[in-house]
């Protein structure tokens, strides 16, 4: 079955990005700067010749450097219909102009284009002087260029990261990421985990693997923030065929290591639950996300949580996980 009208996720993502770029780019970044301008004293015939010579369909009219009107191909047609090609630009130009500023967002111009029926907008600087012209075509070109540039940058980062392991020869190559997690730092809670998830995606992990690892380290990160005496460390070691994630701290240690694995069991006080944590699902979630999980804890040495994710399908644990979504 083929349905060409259906967007793929990838295409939909690109469309979203185009919409976002319309908010991020300013008009000055996409407008045409070297504009052919007309004097109001030119005859319409001279204007017609200029339009032909430069293959343009409209131009701003300047008098003493100030914008006084805009002449479009429609005005020329009107003039030809009247049979008065000898009249002046000032007779046919439209003086009721909609302008936009160089600093406006591209999306503002898009709104203007859809609300009015103008095809081009004179763009003025902060002093009201003409700085350029903008057509819908300029916007399309500008957005495509920006999209292309971003895409190339991200592709390059991904390419470099995903080929990291191929380019380096050793008996065992790995990449280690370390994050220091502060006690009670709820403002940044989850930031390290999101960095880890993004890093794994750049290194070539599938979205499913990145998501599962992300959930596991997010739970571990929140545990370090909520339950430790002095915070702790998140350490992720990426190898070509497995990801080893570790969360460790120096205390106070877990009171009842069997009970802590039960779904719904939580030692988090009420203020923590009010922040949305302490559901008693953390370690259970980690266990169901990764292929192997080991928890060590003592009052003297604190807690060490090891999590392993295998990236090879042949691995027995990885396969059984893949079967249960």
Partner 1 sequence: MKISEIIELVEGKLLTPYANLETTIRGGFAGDLMSDVLASIEPDSVLITGLMNPQVIRTALIADIKLVIFARGKTPSMDTLKLAIAERIPVVNTQLGLYEISGRLMKAGLPSFEKPMLFRYDED
Residue 120 vs 197, nearer CB to partner 1: 197
Torsion sign, CA atoms 258, 260, 261, 262 = positive
**Residue list 52-111, contact with partner 1 (CB under 8 A):** none
Q: Which tokens sit at 134? A: 């903008």
**Residue list 117-146, contact with partner 1 (CB under 8 A):** none
Question: Rule CB under 8 A: is residue 269 a binding residue for partner 1?
Answer: no
Q: How many residues can be counted in the chain?
A: 325
Q: Of these, 47, 60, 138, 193, which contacts partner 1 (CB under 8 A)?
A: 193
Radius of gyration of the chain (CA): 31
Q: Of these, 41, 116, 180, 194, which contacts partner 1 (CB under 8 A)?
A: 194
Of 54-62, 82-90, 121-129, 260-268: span binding partner 1 (CB under 8 A): 260-268
* Sheet arrangement for strand 130-135: 100-101, 120-124, 130-135
CA 55 vs CA 58, 188, 290: distances in Å: 9, 56, 63
Q: What per-residue string of b and e applies to 234-268 under the rule 16 or more CB within 10 Å gives b?
A: bbbebeeebbbbbbbbebebbeeeeebbeeeebeb
Pair 286, 216: CB distance under 8 Å: yes
Distance of closest approach, residue 103 Cβ to partner 1, in angstroms? 17
Question: Rule CB under 8 A: is residue 306 a binding residue for partner 1?
Answer: no
Distance of closest approach, residue 75 Cβ to partner 1, in angstroms? 36
Neighbours of 176 (CB within 10 A): 10
Question: Rule CB under 8 A: is residue 215 a binding residue for partner 1?
Answer: yes
Instruction: Write the binding mask 6 to 45 for partner 1: x where contact by CB under 8 A, - elsewhere.
Output: -x----x--xx--xx-xx----------------------
Q: Which residues contribute to the site for partner 1 (CB under 8 A)? A: 7, 12, 15-16, 19-20, 22-23, 186-187, 189-191, 193-194, 197, 207, 211, 214-215, 218-219, 222, 261-264, 273, 275-282, 284-285, 287-288
């Amino acid at each position: 079955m083929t349905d060409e009208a259906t967007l793929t996720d990838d295409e939909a993502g690109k469309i979203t990005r185009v919409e976002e770029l319309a908010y991020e780019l300013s008009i000055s970044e996409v407008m045409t700067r070297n504009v052919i301008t007309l004097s109001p004293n030119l005859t319409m015939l001279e204007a017609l010749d200029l339009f032909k010579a430069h293959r343009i369909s409209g131009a701003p009219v300047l008098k003493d450097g100030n914008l006084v009107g805009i002449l479009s191909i429609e005005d020329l047609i009107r003039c030809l219909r009247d049979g008065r090609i000898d009249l002046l630009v000032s007779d046919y130009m439209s003086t009721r102009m909609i302008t936009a500023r160089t600093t406006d967002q591209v999306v503002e111009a898009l709104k203007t284009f859809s609300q009015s029926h103008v095809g081009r907008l004179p763009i003025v600087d902060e002093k009201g002087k003409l700085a350029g012209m903008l057509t819908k075509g300029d916007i399309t070109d500008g957005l495509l260029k920006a999209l292309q540039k971003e895409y190339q940058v991200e592709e390059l980062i991904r390419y470099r990261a995903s080929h990291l392991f191929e380019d380096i020869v050793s008996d065992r190559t790995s990449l280690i990421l370390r994050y220091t997690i502060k006690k009670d730092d709820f403002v940044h809670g989850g930031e390290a985990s999101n960095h880890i998830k993004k890093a794994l995606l750049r290194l070539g992990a599938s979205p499913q693997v990145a998501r599962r690892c992300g959930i596991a380290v997010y739970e571990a990160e929140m545990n370090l923030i909520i339950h430790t005496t002095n915070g702790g460390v998140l350490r992720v070691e990426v190898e070509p065929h497995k990801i080893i994630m570790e969360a460790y701290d120096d205390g106070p240690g877990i009171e009842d290591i069997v009970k802590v694995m039960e779904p719904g069991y939580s030692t988090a006080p009420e203020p923590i639950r009010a922040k949305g944590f302490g559901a008693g699902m953390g370690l259970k979630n980690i266990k169901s996300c990764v292929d192997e999980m080991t928890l060590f804890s003592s009052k003297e040495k604190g807690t060490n949580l090891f999590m392993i994710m295998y990236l090879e399908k042949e691995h027995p644990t990885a396969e059984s996980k893949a079967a249960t979504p």
